[in-house]
Chain A
Amino acid sequence: MNCETCQLKELVVEPLEIQDVLRCILHTIVFHRALGLVRPRDVECEHFDITYVQCGDQQLEKKIEEKIDQFIGWVEKHPNRKSRVCLSFFEEKNKHASWFGNKTERRYWEQWYINLHVGNPKSHGKSHSSKAPFNTKENLSEESSSRHAALESSLREVMFQIIRFANEKKDHIPAVQNSDTISFPYEISIPSSSDSSFGWHADVLKRMLQTGHPSMLG
């Protein structure tokens, strides 16, 4: 089976908005792919007038929060950069026994790429000086609110995008192997802290090695 990939629309966010945006998107994606019994829970975004749905699985919430914290830590070290968070669903298959023991192979069947451009709030803060003319301050607040409104609209578009993709692509979803709420194993990848520029590339390479992608073998 092939791996369906969805590239979500890029969002320009500020550091304070990262948590809200990532929670909204990640939980919405998982809600569509958690085929176990779900008791949906409505959650309202802190910074946006958007309500999304959580599965009510505590482990999932904990894992998402951990990854978001890690991503925020990465952003603090690499400000004003484009970055990508990847949510992947896979299935594990046992490979033949080797010298090093039984190896399990991960076969990714769906990947969601959340593209973010985290702006630097300091660039706005510099102009907030007492000596700045009043007009500039007003313009800045208007600009900030319009930016915020644009981000909210974009986030809604991303949510629509998730709903559309999750509904259109259903045939590739593998068989359910357990009765858990989160039916399929998943992985949330953030840019690597070692190499900021090519961090996500390294993750992709690593994944390809694990799955034994034909392009790597050939």
Chain B
Amino acid sequence: MASPSEADRTEQIITHFFHKTLHAVLTSRIPQLHPAPRTSLAASRKPDRWFHLALPDLPAPIAHHGAVMDPLVVDILLTPRQDAADSGAREVVIERWTAHCVLPPPYTAAAHYPHDGSIQRRTYRKFIILLRSLYALLRLLPAHRIFRLLCSSSQPYNYDLTYRASSFAAPFSRAEEADLKQYSFTAVETLFGQLVVSVQYRPNLAGFNLEVSSPMPPMIITDYVGSPAADPIRPFPCSLPDWASRPTTFQYPPRSRTSAGTPQLDRPHSWNSAPMAHHPLSAHDRVELGSSPPGPYGRMPSERKGSFNFDEFRLSPPFSTSTSPSPPAHGGHSLKSRLQTETSPVSIPIIATGKNQMHRSPNLSDPFKSLLPPPSPRSTRADLSCQESPSKSRSFRKSEGLSLGDIYSNLHMYAAYRGLKDGRDDSGRFSALSSGGSPRYAFSRSSSRLSMPDDLEDEDFSYPFAVDDVDTSDSQTRSPDVKEAEYSSSHKSQEAAVGILVQMLKNAAPLRQDQSCSSQSSDVNGEVSMSSSFLSRKTSDALEELQSYKEMKNLLLSKSGTKLQESLNQKKSSKE
């Protein structure tokens, strides 16, 4: 009779085999579970070394929840999308993968097996080869062609590949059986019986008219940015209209008709904290059963009894410390239902808000692009600023991207900045790097256009914008104007506030030049009076200084003369 440790090891091997089988089938059949190309991060992760077949990570943990003796049944379905379903197409099982342990007859019980662990080693090695064959066969069957087509095409098709994994599946009808072929792998002997893996598949899938889905009809967007109907502060609707929920890509299964609740809220949105959590291209936790296995040559040698050869050492299963596999983090059924009910990304209508008014809807002609999160408002603004011609006013370009709150802070900064007397840099942009007590601003010419929109929402960034011309002379008179603009624009639209700011900047007087260079002043009379008073002040100061120098000189001379006299008297007295 098999010892408990042998039974546990066998159970663990079989459980991992089921898991690996499921993993291999799903990554080879379900487009949304097709892994992304290996990134450096993914490559640095420790691969699942079970059965010496390192498979790409699944986007989400998927596991088989049945017991060891429960079969694993994975149905691959060709599911019609909305438009195909409307024409009467039904969901069809095109492949059914089955893995199950067949109990041996009583007279060939485990008592006849040697108890030196060799059965587990043999089992494990045969599972390695079986998985190789399964992996190769997955690529030979007709369904792989559809999988490749759906993965490689950027256009959505009228069908999707979905799956059902369970411990039981309804048997096929006779008519269905007639259309199916079966392939069974050679059974592998285990302590619990013979493990058989087989597949029933449709040899001919030409009957399914796979074609690109019809694109969405053109829409007229009335509340575009800048339109009178646009309300700058309008919350994004939680529930999208029906036309927006129509699937646009092939990588997500269509909205399930059997889903409950509100599928829209389950979809990843850009305003969610992890919008791409369910994205097939994002890397997620690997499927793991129990604790992560140690290296392939982990603890096996120490657990063995008796002698073992090198083969045992090399082809040892990477058993974990726990003898029984711990349940995975996510239920397979729940994930299955989630994957089946997961809705497709939709085209988000342009709704002007305070921050994302520049946000554009995903490009409908490129659904693959729509799989990515929508471009952030800041990056969109940066793009816009890049594309505009350099001849445009830089201040106006920056103000395009400013939100209402940013304008307020900008105006505050502007008021504070007016007290500074530093000159402009060569580009005409103000730079105040060393003024003590003032906010330290540093702005380069080339980067400010791009980085400023990003910096607008950065809490640590203190100087949100730079202007070309700043008036520092009549700061006192401009203060109430600024404040007026500040308070009045709170009730205006963002565009009005921007217009006010632009107006202010346009009307702003140029920076006051160095006092010695007075010829650039626009007011000629003021300039003359300033220069004459400046000159007179300078002359009087000079005269005063001269006078003081004279006095000092006289004093010094007098002192020196007195001292000289005293020294002479001393000499005389000494001679006498």
Pair from one complex: yes
In the complex formed, the residue of B with least CB distance to A160 is B140
CB contact under 8 A between A163 and B52, given known A52-B139, A53-B139, A175-B310: no
Is B49's beta carbon under 8 Å from chain A? yes
CB contact under 8 A between A167 and B315, given known A35-B52, A39-B47, A52-B136: no
Question: What's the Cα separation between A175 and B310 when bound, in Å?
Answer: 8
21 A–B contacts from the bound complex (CB under 8 Å)? A31-B135, A35-B125, A35-B129, A35-B315, A37-B47, A38-B53, A39-B54, A42-B139, A52-B139, A53-B136, A53-B139, A163-B133, A166-B132, A167-B129, A168-B186, A175-B311, A176-B310, A176-B314, A177-B314, A178-B314, A183-B314
Q: Are B311 and A50 in contact, with the CB atoms below 8 A? A: no
Is B126's beta carbon under 8 Å from chain A? yes
In the bound complex, residues from chain B placing their C-beta under 8 Å from that of A119 are: none
If over half of B's interface residues share one DSSP class (helix, strand or loop), that class is named, otherwise mixed; here it is helix
In the bound complex, residues from chain A placing their C-beta under 8 Å from that of B309 are: 175
Query: Which of A44, A156, A166: most chain B Cβ within 10 A?
Result: A166
Partner of B137, one of A35, A36, A163, A183: A163
Number of interface residues of A (CB under 8 A): 32
Q: Are A166 and B129 in contact, with the CB atoms below 8 A? A: yes
Question: What's the Cα separation between A170 and B187 when bound, in Å?
Answer: 11
In the bound complex, residues from chain A placing their C-beta under 8 Å from that of B126 are: 170
Q: Are A40 and B53 in contact, with the CB atoms below 8 A? A: yes
Is A179's beta carbon under 8 Å from chain B? yes
Partner of A37, one of B52, B133, B185: B52
Q: How far is the CB of B208 from chain A (nearest CB, A)?
A: 17
In the complex formed, the residue of B with least CB distance to A176 is B314
Q: How far is the CB of A43 from chain B (nearest CB, A)?
A: 10
Partner of A51, one of B49, B55, B139, B311: B139
CB contact under 8 A between A38 and B52, given known A167-B185, A175-B311: yes
135-165 of chain B: CB within 8 A of chain A: 135-137, 139-140, 144-145, 148
515-538 of chain B: CB within 8 A of chain A: none
Question: What's the Cα separation between A56 and B120 when bound, in Å?
Answer: 28
Question: What's the Cα separation between A175 and B314 when bound, in Å?
Answer: 9
In the bound complex, residues from chain A placing their C-beta under 8 Å from that of B137 are: 163
In the bound complex, residues from chain A placing their C-beta under 8 Å from that of B133 are: 32, 163, 166-167
Q: How far is the CB of A132 from chain B (nearest CB, A)?
A: 34
Is A118's beta carbon under 8 Å from chain B? no
Question: What's the Cα separation between A42 and B151 when bound, in Å?
Answer: 14
In the complex formed, the residue of B with least CB distance to A162 is B136
Q: Are A173 and B125 in contact, with the CB atoms below 8 A? A: yes
Partner of A176, one of B55, B186, B311: B311
Q: How far is the CB of A1 from chain B (nearest CB, A)?
A: 14
CB contact under 8 A between A170 and B310, given known A37-B52, A38-B52, A159-B140: no
Question: What's the Cα separation between A178 and B135 when bound, in Å?
Answer: 23
In the bound complex, residues from chain B placing their C-beta under 8 Å from that of A163 are: 133, 136-137, 140
Is A28's beta carbon under 8 Å from chain B? yes
Partner of B140, one of A50, A173, A175, A179: A50
Q: How far is the CB of B219 from chain A (nearest CB, A)?
A: 38
Is A138's beta carbon under 8 Å from chain B? no
Partner of A36, one of B52, B145, B186: B52
Is A195's beta carbon under 8 Å from chain B? no
In the complex formed, the residue of A with least CB distance to B53 is A38
In the complex formed, the residue of B with least CB distance to A183 is B314
Question: What's the Cα separation between A52 and B53 when bound, in Å?
Answer: 16
229-284 of chain B: CB within 8 A of chain A: none
User: Which 8 A-B pairs give the minimum distances between C-beta atoms?
Assistant: A175-B311, A51-B139, A176-B314, A167-B186, A39-B54, A37-B52, A163-B133, A167-B133
In the bound complex, residues from chain B placing their C-beta under 8 Å from that of A42 are: 139
Q: How far is the CB of A125 from chain B (nearest CB, A)?
A: 32
174-189 of chain B: CB within 8 A of chain A: 185-186
Question: What's the Cα separation between A53 and B54 when bound, in Å?
Answer: 13
Is B77's beta carbon under 8 Å from chain A? no
Q: How far is the CB of B549 from chain A (nearest CB, A)?
A: 89
Q: Are B49 and A37 in contact, with the CB atoms below 8 A? A: yes
In the bound complex, residues from chain A placing their C-beta under 8 Å from that of B47 are: 37, 39
In the complex formed, the residue of A with least CB distance to B183 is A160
Question: What's the Cα separation between A50 and B319 when bound, in Å?
Answer: 36
Q: Are B148 and A32 in contact, with the CB atoms below 8 A? A: no
Q: How far is the CB of A46 from chain B (nearest CB, A)?
A: 15
In the bound complex, residues from chain A placing their C-beta under 8 Å from that of B310 are: 175-177
Q: Interface readout for A151-171 with B: 1 if CB under 8 Å, 0 if not?
A: 000001001101100111010
Q: How far is the CB of B49 from chain A (nearest CB, A)?
A: 6
Q: How far is the CB of B82 from chain A (nearest CB, A)?
A: 29
Q: Are B185 and A51 in contact, with the CB atoms below 8 A? A: no
In the bound complex, residues from chain B placing their C-beta under 8 Å from that of A166 are: 129, 132-133
Question: What's the Cα separation between A37 and B46 when bound, in Å?
Answer: 12
276-326 of chain B: CB within 8 A of chain A: 296, 309-311, 314-315
